Amino acid sequence: MKWTLMMIPLLTLLGCTGERPASLGVSDGQLGTCPDSPNCVSSFETRDSHRIAPLTATLDQVRAAVSAMPGAQIISEQDQYLYAEFTSRLMRFVDDVEFLADPATGQVQVRSASRLGYGDMGVNRARIEEIRATVEVP
């Protein structure tokens, strides 16, 4: 118990940003795969636990939605690719979120993953669904 109480302030002081993964970006026309841990979702995944549908939107719509979200910072954008970091308020955890547009299909492929930890309590899936609700008109 004492160890846990000592770790909370230490983690708060150090932040929980972790290092930006080297595996980000597009490879062979796809975003990276998710690890086995349940803290990642991707529209390229085949595993039900990690699979999420792509967005039906343009990259401009996605950029606008992401820019309006708390804790979001767009880090890079080139061609049909957008990369953003989302930082949580309390513990400063950072999630890496990538988007890859396919203008021919009108879809944007997505990948959202936590940098640290094992689980994410559904945060990455909820984030993508929040973006979906903003960009997709029924």
pLDDT per position as a tens digit, 63-122: 999 999 999 999 999 999 999 999 988 778 999 999 999 999 999 999 999 998 888 899
Residue 111 lies in a domain: yes
* Domains identified in the chain, total number: 1
CATH number at 84 reads 3.30.310
Q: Residues near 121 by Cβ (< 8 Å), separated by ≥ 6? A: none
Comparing CA positions, the residue from 55, 61, 42 lying closest to residue 112 is: 42
Task: Please give the pLDDT value at position 58.
Answer: 97
Task: Answer yes or no: is 9 within a domain.
Answer: no
CB 12 within 8 A of CB 5: no
Residues 20-31, mean pLDDT to the nearest whole number: 92
In a domain, 4, yes or no: no
- pLDDT value at residue 83: 98
The verdict on residue 50 lying in a domain is yes
Q: Would 10 be classed as within a structural domain?
A: no
List 75's β-bridge partners, or say none: none
Residue 1 lies in a domain: no
> Mean pLDDT throughout 110-136?
94
Q: Which domain holds residue 126?
A: 16-135
Is position 116 within any domain?
yes
In angstroms, how far is CA 34 from the centroid of its own chain?
Answer: 11
Please check whether residue 58 lies inside any domain of the structure: yes
- In this prediction the pTM is 0.85
Angstrom distance (rounded) from CA 38 to CA 81: 24
Per-residue model confidence (pLDDT) at position 47: 96
Higher pLDDT, 19 or 81: 81
